[in-house]
Copies of this chain bind each other. A is one copy, B any other.
Amino acid sequence: MPETLLIPGPTPVPERVAEAMLQPMINHRGEQFTALAREVQEGLQAVFQTQNPVIIFPSAGTGGLEAALVNVLSPGDRVLACTMGAFGDRFAKIAGIYGADVERLAAPWGQAIDPATLRERLQADRDRQIKAVLITHNETSTGVTNPLARLAEVVREHGALLLVDAVSSLAAIDLPTDAWGIDVVITGSQKALMCPPGLALMSVGPRAWAAAETAKMPRLYWDWAGFRKEMAKLQTPYTPAISLYYALREALRMIGEAGLAAVLARHAALGRACREGVTALGLELLADPRYYSDTVTAIRVPPGIEPAALRKAVRQRGVIIAGGQGPLTDSVVRIGHLGHVTEADLRAGLKALREVLADLRGQGGTADARTGS
């Protein structure tokens, strides 16, 4: 039985994209690769909404966060990490491991970062000690989308570099990189880009390139300078993940055919449908309603029901949903609705959830009745 995959990534890979990987292996120093790299680069700039080059690493998204940090920072640099979930924490943690002086501006899990609070903190930094601000556009662990347009404006007022983790938002939630003046935007192949996992992608703006020239954190694999030199020839400093390039080219063609605006609108509709469906089942959402994510919905599991048992029962109906992370492990389940997830997939997920809840509540009711008898 083919399962319906409703997790925040990896997301279902369209048949066209999977079949693109059947194309023959090629020399990564030859003309076929440069043609492939050129088309991928153009497609990426369109979805990143940028004129900046987009660097592609053979890597998971986590490596993309590491790459962004080590290219613009030196040990001891002050970094303000805006955290409100597991992935914001990871971004901050990596910066600290490499010796940055990390200050956290934390919001509770389920909340967004408040632009006014960020402005207050940055205005207090009168001598501009803060070199970079880290923001998670869409926090996958809580289903919250930060008000990035306003946060970016606040960071630009201050002048720090702005690094944005857009792993679970890019190509699903509007992110006009250049219009919002974001220095580095990072994403992964296995989310809204509809590819298998294995590529980290990041756009790098002029201020970030300049910072890289003096940044002292150690790097070779992640070093942008090696890419800059080779990208001029449409090549890479080491062997690129060619089959995933094939997949990505096809996925970018699909996005281009539909139009980015339509793709974003489809995600908005899916997000709304998921929230309506879930609340119609009497369930509560974790996120602040002002900042609901259109790619991931985090659901509070009702008292008396184990999230693991809920997910297992849903899976027995052929639908895979995700558990909670960190402090939410015992209280939350999550539905991913991004990339190639369809309305039909979502309906199947909501149906499975309805049936399972009826069963579990029925058992609970029975148990209550027994206790009361």
Query: Which of A76-84, A119-127, A233-241, A267-275 sits within the interface?
Result: A233-241
Quick check: B188 and A239 within 8 Å, CB to CB?
A: yes
CB contact list, A315-371 vs B, under 8 A: 315, 320, 322-323
Let me know if A301 is at the binding interface, CB within 8 A: no
Judge whether A12 is part of the interface by a CB distance below 8 angstroms: yes
Residue of B nearest to A9 (CB): B239
Interface set, chain A 1-44, CB cutoff 8 A to B:
2-3, 5, 7, 9-13, 18-19, 21-22, 24-30
Contact between chains at A21 and B60 (CB < 8 Å) = no
Are B238 and A60 touching (Cβ within 8 A)?
yes
Whether A203 sits at the interface, judged by CB under 8 Å, is: no
User: Which of A18, A30, A240, A241 has the most B CB atoms < 10 Å from its CB?
Assistant: A241
A161 at the interface (CB under 8 A from B): no
Say if the beta carbon of A219 comes within 8 Å of chain B.
yes
Least CB separation from A98: chain B residue: B218
A221: chain B residues at CB < 8 Å are 59-60, 62-63, 66, 94
Name the B residues within 8 Å of A21 (CB-CB). Answer: 18, 21-22, 196, 243
11 A-B pairs in the complex with CB atoms less than 8 angstroms apart: A10-B239, A12-B24, A22-B22, A29-B322, A59-B63, A60-B241, A66-B220, A93-B220, A198-B241, A241-B241, A243-B243
Supply 12 further A-B pairs (C-beta < 8 A) apart from A10-B28, A217-B218.
Answer: A7-B27, A10-B27, A18-B22, A21-B22, A58-B59, A60-B221, A62-B238, A190-B239, A196-B244, A197-B240, A198-B198, A243-B247
Q: 3 nearest interchain CB pairs?
A: A198-B241, A196-B243, A62-B238
